[in-house]
């Protein structure tokens, strides 16, 4: 018999103290991720944050959801972005996965979306009949340094046993690459003469005005409450002693050797001309949000991102901002670039099927956190 347990925001304090939940053989969510949901400024006490699925009284699956605010056709609304969905392999054929999706859909009045997903998940979502395509954002992965130790085991899992070899090859190749980058860095710095930066924990009034000005058509306009929450409550915790953590108990991102989010205010002639939010996890940086006048400052904002990547030993940058993406594709700083595609879908209950007037940032949905 299938049973679904609904965890609401108001239930989080008691669930944090439920020892049997945390001592289970696998984790349905990490403690810091659960607490981040509790501090979400866009959610209410009666919003669901997690579904737990039981089969014959045994916990066999779960689905997480991130509550957000959106604007469509000038109307404010709420949405739940599906952020995790897992079912134990031994339950294959029982219909538990579909039951979890149906329960979440019904519990949220159909107001759900997914901001990124695998091809196999896409087939399930299409079969459900619940969704329209929201966006297919074109992006780029711009590679600065050799990253074989990440790329090869990801593409070819059987090569994980050769990880020491890939790391040694990265080290050797990057000795030469770093010489090239040190020369190119001087050129980037010269182009940024007269530009200064502020690294922020909270969004000041001038920066918020810039964000508001460049948020026309954005599906989810951001304010200081969101950015402070994003900065303070990471879903992935930095854990230098990663091998000693229990990350293997959780099927999704829980912790990693390095993880941080940077808010960078770009200043020229004492005025804010741009703001970017960058996520860096190990050797990979992602441009989550960028606000600037793309007719004037795309090159400057792009150079700031490149320069930080050079300084931080970043090996690749993932970007979906159109103007910065195009700048990266023309830049000689990178070893090579590959195209990326980010697909997003949204429930039909919003009664909108044409989303050409909607702007979706890479960081929208749960992509800022995971």
pLDDT of residue 212: 98
Q: pLDDT tens, 247-280?
A: 999 999 999 999 999 999 999 999 999 999 999 9
pLDDT of residue 287: 98
Spatial distance between the Cα atoms of 210 and 136, rounded to a whole number of angstroms: 26
3-state secondary structure of 57: coil
pLDDT of residue 148: 87
3-state secondary structure of 22: helix
Return the closest-CA partner of residue 94 out of 50, 51, 54: 54
pLDDT of residue 92: 83
pLDDT of residue 160: 87
Cβ atoms of 9 and 37 within 8 Å: the answer is yes
Residue 9, Cα to own-chain centre: how many angstroms?
21
Return the closest-CA partner of residue 309 out of 296, 324, 323, 294: 324
Residue numbers in the chain where pLDDT is lower than 70: none
Token readout for 145 is 């340094």
Token readout for 151 is 């790329």
């Amino acid at each position: 018999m299938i049973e679904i347990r609904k965890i609401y925001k108001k239930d989080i304090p008691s669930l944090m103290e439920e020892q049997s939940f945390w001592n289970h053989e696998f984790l349905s969510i990490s403690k810091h991720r659960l607490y981040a949901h509790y501090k979400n400024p866009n959610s209410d006490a009666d919003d669901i944050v997690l579904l737990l699925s039981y089969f014959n009284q045994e916990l066999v699956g779960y689905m997480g959801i991130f509550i957000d605010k959106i604007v469509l056709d000038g109307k404010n609304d709420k949405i739940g972005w599906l952020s995790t969905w897992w079912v134990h392999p031994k339950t294959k054929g029982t219909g538990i996965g579909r039951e979890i999706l149906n329960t979440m859909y019904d519990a949220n009045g159909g107001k759900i979306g997914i901001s990124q997903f695998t091809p196999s998940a896409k087939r399930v979502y299409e079969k459900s009949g619940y969704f329209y395509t929201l966006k297919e954002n074109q992006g780029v992965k711009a590679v600065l340094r050799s990253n074989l130790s990440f790329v090869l085991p990801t593409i070819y899992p059987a090569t994980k046993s050769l990880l020491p070899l890939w790391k040694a090859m990265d080290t050797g190749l990057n000795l030469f690459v770093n010489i090239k980058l040190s020369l190119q860095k001087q050129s980037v710095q010269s182009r940024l003469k007269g530009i200064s930066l502020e690294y922020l924990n909270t969004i000041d009034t001038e920066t918020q005005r810039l964000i508001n000005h460049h948020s026309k058509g954005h599906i989810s306009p951001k304010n200081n409450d969101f950015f402070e929450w994003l900065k303070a409550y990471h879903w992935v915790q930095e854990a230098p002693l990663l091998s000693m953590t229990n990350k293997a108990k959780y099927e999704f991102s829980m912790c990693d050797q390095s993880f941080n989010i940077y808010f960078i205010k770009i200043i020229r002639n004492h005025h804010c001309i741009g703001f970017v939010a960058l996520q860096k996890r190990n050797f990979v940086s992602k441009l989550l949000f960028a606000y600037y006048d793309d007719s004037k400052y795309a090159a400057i904002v792009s150079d700031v991102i490149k320069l930080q990547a050079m300084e931080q030993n970043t090996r690749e940058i993932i970007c979906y901002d159109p103007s910065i993406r195009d700048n990266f594709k023309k830049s000689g700083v990178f070893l090579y670039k590959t195209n990326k595609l980010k697909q997003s879908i949204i429930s039909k209950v919003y009664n909108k099927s044409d989303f050409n007037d909607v702007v979706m940032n890479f960081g929208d949905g749960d992509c800022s956190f995971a």
